[in-house]
Amino acid sequence: MPSYNSDGLRLHYETAGSGPSLLCIHSATSTGSYEWDELTRNLSESFRVVKPDLRGHGESDHRSGQLALELIEEDLRELITHESLGRPHLMGFSFGSEIALRLALDYPGVAQSLILLSPGLGTVKKGAAAKAEVPSRETLESRWPKGLRRLHAERHGPDHWIDIMQDLWVRHAERTLISLEDLQTLTIPMLLICGSDDDPRRLKQSRLFAATNPLARHIEIEGGAHAVHKDHLEQVEPIIAEFLSGL
C-alpha cells in the first residue's frame, strides 16, 4: 500500500487514473476508499485521483490529541509534494470540505479549484472563537453511522471512532471560524454541492458563501441528505465532471 511520512506518522493513500491531479479529502471517521471510490470511478479516466486516509483514520497512523486542522493541512501539503501533484483540484466532503477550504485559505495558490460537498462553513467576525460542547459517548453512539464506526476497528480497535470524534470536537471548540472577509480572498473556481435535506445551517452557509464570492457556485440536490454524493451519485458525479472539464 502506498504511504508517506509526515510529522513522524506513516500515512496511507491510494491513487487511480492519470491526468490533472484531484486530491480527495474524506469526512470525519471515514477513509479515502470508502468516501471516494464510487464517485471517482469515472473521474479517474480523466484525472489522477489521490485518496488519502487522514491521520488517525483507516490505515494511517494515529497520535492521540493530534488531530488539529493545522496538522492535517501539513500532512496534505507533504502528500502534494510526495506525489508531485503540483496544484491539484481539491475535493472534500463535510469535515473534509472544511479542511480543503482552510488549506486553500491558509496557502494561497495551493489549489486549482475547490469542490466542497456538504460544506460546514462557520461565518462570524474575524477572530471570534468557535463554541462547541464535546458530545458524550452516548450521544455519539446514538447518531453516528455504524458503517463509519467499523472502518477503523481492524487497525485501531472498535472504539477508535469515538476517540476520533471526541478529539475533533475538542479541536473544533478551540479554533476560530472562517469569516466572510476570508471567503472573499479566494480567487479560484469553487463548486459547492448540498442536499436539500441536509442540516439547514449547512445550506444557509453554502448559499452565503456563493453570495459572498462570485467565483463560488452553490447547487442543491433535491431530496439529498448529508452524504449527497452517495445517495445521489448519478446526479452529483456529472455535475463535478462538468465543473472540472470546464476549467
CA distances from 85 to 13, 33, 42, 139 (A): 13, 19, 20, 40
Question: Sign of torsion, CA 54 57 63 64?
Answer: positive
The pLDDT assigned to 131 comes to 53
Supply the pLDDT for residue 132. Answer: 56
Q: C-alpha dihedral over 120, 125, 129, 130, to 10 degrees?
A: -20
Torsion of CA 227, 152, 74, 41, to 10 degrees: -50
What pLDDT shows up at residue 167? 86
Contact 130, 173 (CB under 8 A): yes
Nine-digit cell at 56? 488517525
| Runs of H (alpha helix) within 193-232 | 200-212, 228-231
Determine contact, residues 175/69, Cβ cutoff 8 Å.
yes
Domain 3-123+179-245: give its CATH architecture: 3-Layer(aba) Sandwich (3.40)
Q: What is the pLDDT of residue 126?
A: 40
**Dihedral, CA atoms, 195, 199, 203, 208, nearest 10 degrees?**
-160
pLDDT tens across the length of the chain (247 residues): 799 999 999 999 999 999 999 999 999 999 999 999 999 999 999 999 999 999 999 999 999 889 989 999 999 999 999 999 999 999 999 999 999 999 999 999 999 999 999 997 554 334 444 455 677 878 888 888 888 989 988 899 988 998 888 888 877 767 677 888 899 999 999 999 999 999 998 898 899 999 999 999 999 999 999 999 999 999 999 999 999 999 9
CA distance 25 to 69: 12
For the chain, the structural domain boundaries read 3-123+179-245
β-sheet bridge partners, residue 52: 13
pLDDT value, residue 124: 39
